[in-house]
Amino acid sequence: MTGIRISVPDTAETGEVIEIRVLIQHPMESGFRRDNRGGLIPRDILTRFECTYSGKAVFVADFHPAIAANPLLSFNTVAAESGTLNFRWIDQNGAVWEDSAEIIVT
Amino acid sequence: MRTDERQALSISRRSLITGVAGLGTLALIRSPAAAAPEDVIAAQRALFGDREIQTGRVMVTMPPIAENGFSVPFEVEVDSPMTEDDHVVQIAVFSPRNPLPDMARFHLGPRAGRARVATRIRMSGTQAITAVAEMSDGSLWSGSAETVVTLAACIIL
């Protein structure tokens, strides 16, 4: 159901500020829309995104319905050491989607 | 009779003075986001309390015109060295016209290196989006940008 796309550089120099871009396929149903019978379509959104670098949190986002469908995030982090970047999305019911990327820092 | 009159006069003078002072405080609180309706002020209060929000250091970038409000590119950057001693702790984004004033909140730290976040937002009509950044020293800074939305997204949002 869910497609995740992640863009992290494969390699970086120590101390370099790198850009990370992540996208997840999700309707982000706002809960304000109505169906063709006039009934409210229930809200179904991701509420949190977390990025950890070698186990340490480097970026966290809280989403409200104002975030567009298929939420895209672009943020930065300092390439501190070679390791794993882990990405987690959590929806309003606590369901989790995860992915990760490796980076080699020289 | 005369004492009564004097009393009445002193009361009205006092209420006048407090009234003016009250107006002044109100103007002071409202000045950071003068154009924003009460909802945004309330949302900012809920998050940051009564602390003063200064204008500056926060740059919001959005297109001048968006064809529709489904998905509008949004970028916020805060002028900060992002060191252990001086960095951005969080950035909160507010809308004066969407059904909910809270749009998103980003938590950062010195590990970010650069205080910049980009995403895509929903907009139910033309409005100025405000971002408030909280620094590690506790100070609050805000910036905003306006996008003209040609197809109002009040139905679709």
Q: Do residues B65 and B147 lie in contact, with contact meaning Cβ atoms separated by under 8 Å?
A: yes
Task: Measure CA B129 to chain center.
Answer: 8
Task: Count contacts between A and B (CB, < 8 Å).
Answer: 99
Tell me which DSSP letter residue B19 carries.
H
Closest-approach residue (CA) in chain B for A58? B111
Q: Which residues of B touch A53 (CB under 8 A)?
A: 111
Question: What's the pLDDT score for residue A17?
Answer: 95
Q: Do residues B96 and B42 lie in contact, with contact meaning Cβ atoms separated by under 8 Å?
A: no
Divide the 157 residues of chain B into consecutive groups of 10 and give the mean pLDDT of each group. 52 52 44 58 91 94 92 95 94 93 94 95 92 95 93 56
Those residues with Cβ within 8 angstroms of residue B152's Cβ, 6 or more apart along the chain or in another chain: B69, B124, B125, B126
> What is the C-alpha to C-alpha distance for residues A76 and B136, in angstroms, rounded to an integer?
18
Tell me which DSSP letter residue B85 carries.
S
Give the count of alpha carbons within 13 A of B126, CB side only: 5
CB A33 to CB B157 under 8 A?
Answer: yes
Q: Which residues of B touch A47 (CB under 8 A)?
A: none
* A89 and chain B in contact, CB less than 8 A: no
Of B75, B95, B157, the CB nearest to A32: B157
> What is the C-alpha to C-alpha distance for residues B141 and B90, in angstroms, rounded to an integer?
11
SS (H, E, C) chain A: CCCEEEECCCEECCCCEEEEEEEECCCCECCCCECCCCCECCCECEEEEEEEECCEEEEEEEECCCECCCCEEEEEEECCCCEEEEEEEEECCCCEEEEEEEEEEC
Q: Which residues of B touch A73 (CB under 8 A)?
A: 117-119
Closest-approach residue (CA) in chain B for A47? B104
Query: Tell me: the pLDDT tens digits for B44-83?
Result: 999 999 899 999 999 999 999 998 889 999 999 999 999 9
Query: Tell me: the pLDDT tens digits for A25-82?
Result: 999 999 988 888 989 999 999 999 999 999 999 999 999 999 999 999 999 999 999 9
CB B114 to CB A61 under 8 A?
Answer: no
Question: What's the pLDDT score for residue B36?
Answer: 52
Residue closest to A6 by CA, chosen among A78, A97, A105: A97
Q: pTM (2 decimals)?
A: 0.81
- CA of B94 vs chain A CAs: smallest distance (Å): 9
Question: What's the pLDDT score for residue B34?
Answer: 37
